[in-house]
Amino acid sequence: MSFNNLQLIEPVLKALIHEGYTKPTPIQEQAIPPILQHKDLLGCAQTGTGKTAAFAIPIMQLMHQQHQAGPKGHRAIKALILTPTRELAIQIEESFKAYGKYLDLKHLVVFGGVSQVNQVNTLRRGIDILVATPGRLLDLMNQNYISLRDIKFFVLDEADRMLDMGFVHDVKRIIAKLPSKRQTLFFSATMPPEIQQLANALLVNPVKVAVTPVSSTVDIIQQSLYFVDKPEKNSLLKHLLEDVSVKTALVFTRTKHGADKVARELARAGIRAEAIHGNKSQNARQSALSNFKNRHTRVLVATDIAARGIDIDELTHVINYDMPNIPETYVHRIGRTGRAGASGIAISFCDTEERSYLKDIQKLIGKAIPVITTHPFGMIGNSQPVRPPVARPSFQKRTGGNSNGNGNRNGFSERRKTYRSSYAGRG
Ligand code: AMP
């Protein structure tokens, strides 16, 4: 499949060539045609799949065609993209800029934490596309700088994260101001019941598309497993962090409270660590992230939703302090290391209650994760490892192939391999 098969207009194709895109990603292949047919869309996809282009390209194409057909006058906001964080908002507006390089459409991004003066000045001059975070958008609406009455396209991006960050009321207030006749595109990486409910309330006969960006990097990441009793996880973590070869570690916990607790414990032990999750303010998250990126902190403790979209170069270790209960999440987590062909190390702690999660993960990845038994916090009592242990030093770089085979019983990573290789090095 090439972009030429997607009924795209010349200026858009030209911009894609300029960007160096040779073929659409799966979400683009599935989403662009129905959006161009004016259909509502429910997209189950996360950042990194190419979803921004999947909605930005067809929206701009439709707007361009309507713009050409209609009367020329003062511009009114016809497309609204609502996204939970400033980082995402900036990235989305940059995408509109790139894909709309040869189109006469004006766009603006608004988010809080900065002066509104420039945003208001641009709004006064007239724009077609607005990318916004909920708080600042409501502020500007309340001051009558923004009206949503001409909106024809509404995109709700990262809906699950929006709810996780407590924006549900703001989002509902904004939705209430939208015209009922509009095209709505709804994106969420996960679809828990409350997200499904929100989608049902917003969408009319939506086309459903789903992509799971499970990474093939799994095969080049050195994975290991520690069976440990829950109360010992902290001690085991500190013990592992005594190894200086752990230059940067992204530690995953299941809950926000858990993330805070682990970061606190590490800090108490003199290890530079910070937590990042949905309850933290935008500024606190941004600062934790940049501290980690420029190596002021050595350990970043995160929940899955907060860590999404975070791209950290040369991350050496991913540590699953808690086993994820959704097997694909394991693959997403460990895929944070081993980027761009670099070998990474992924360590998982598994307590008795997490055995069933481990079973599902091993089924998905098609192999058993090697177990490290030589550590001071091994399980006591009658909790035996579920698999025969394969002892291997935890931080030794792998030299050869996979000691446990590259089994790929479900064909999952093969599919991803094709997908990733299509735009290797960009994500
Ligand atoms: P997104 O999921 O929208 O955040 O996109 C992830 C990354 O993939 C961004 O850096 C995009 O520039 C890039 N990208 C999106 N679509 C394509 C494509 N068809 N070919 C190559 N790169 C792409």
Tokens, residue 47: 């950042």
- Is there a domain that residue 427 lies in? no
**Statement to judge: residues 36 and 97 lie in one domain:** yes
pLDDT score at 187 = 95
Please give the Cα distance from 233 to 375 (Å, whole number).
Answer: 12
CA distance 41 to 144: 30
Q: Is 18 in the pocket of ligand 1 (CB under 6 A)?
A: no
CB 224, CB 371: distance < 8 Å: yes
Q: Is 185 within the bounds of a domain?
A: yes
Residues 200, 323: one domain? Answer: no
- Nearest residue CA, atom 6 of ligand 1? 48
List helix spans (H) across 20-70.
Answer: 26-36, 51-69
**What is the pTM assigned to this prediction?**
0.62
Check whether residue 239 and residue 299 sit in a common domain: yes
One domain for residues 93 and 119: yes
Does 152 sit in the ligand 1 pocket, CB within 6 Å?
no
Token digits of residue 398: 């792998």
CA-closest candidate to residue 335, choices 216, 253, 419: 216
Task: Say if residue 399 is in the same domain as residue 263.
Answer: yes
How many other C-beta atoms can be found within 10 angstroms of the C-beta atom of residue 392?
A: 15
One domain for residues 113 and 135: yes
Instruction: Say what the pLDDT of residue 232 is.
Output: 96
pLDDT at 92: 94
Question: Atom of ligand 1 at shortest distance to CA of 45?
Answer: 2
Q: Which of 187, 210, 233 is the last residue of a domain?
A: 210
Which of these three, 184, 210, 236, is where a domain ends? 210
182 and 241 in a single domain? The answer is no
Domain contains 215: no
Domain-embedded: residue 234: yes
CB burial of residue 272 (10 Å; 0-12, 13-18, 19+): middle
For ligand 1, say whether the CB of 308 is within 6 Å of any of its atoms. Answer: no
Q: 327: helix, coil or strand?
A: helix
Last residue of a domain, one of 162, 182, 210: 210
Contacts of 18 (CB under 8 A, 6+ apart): 98, 101
Q: Which pLDDT belongs to residue 312?
A: 72
Q: What is the DSSP letter of 50?
A: S
Provide the pLDDT for residue 419. Answer: 31
E strand map for 128-190 = 129-132, 153-156, 183-188
The range of the structural domain enclosing residue 399 comes to 221-421
**Which residue has a Cα nearest atom 20 of ligand 1?**
21
Looking at residue 45, the DSSP 8-state letter turns out to be -
Instruction: For the chain of 427 residues, list the mean pLDDT of each consecutive stretch of 10.
Output: 93 93 91 98 84 97 88 86 91 94 97 95 97 97 97 95 88 97 93 89 95 59 94 96 92 94 97 90 85 92 79 84 88 76 84 94 86 85 40 33 31 28 30
The CATH number for 293's domain is 3.40.50.300
The answer to whether residues 171 and 314 belong to one domain is no
Between CA 219 and CA 223 the distance in angstroms is 9
pLDDT computed for residue 340 by the predictor: 52
- Does 216 fall in a domain? no
Residues 6+ positions from 377 with CB-CB distance below 8 Å? 226, 228, 229, 232, 235, 236, 239
Residue 426 lies in a domain: no
Same domain, 201 and 83: yes
Find out whether the beta carbon of 50 lies less than 6 Å from any atom of ligand 1: yes
Return the number of other C-beta atoms located less than 10 Å from residue 329's C-beta: 20
Are residues 130 and 179 located together in one domain of the fold? yes
Query: Cα(61) to centroid of ligand 1, in Å?
Result: 18
230 and 132 share a domain?
Answer: no
Q: Which residue lies with its CA nearest to atom 18 of ligand 1?
A: 21
Nearest residue CA, atom 7 of ligand 1? 427
pLDDT of residue 161: 85
For ligand 1, whether the C-beta of 83 sits within 6 Å is no
Q: Specify whether 16 is located in the same domain as 81.
A: yes
Q: How many domains does the chain have?
A: 2
Q: Which of 52, 59, 185 has most ligand 1 atoms within 8 Å of CB, for mutation?
A: 52
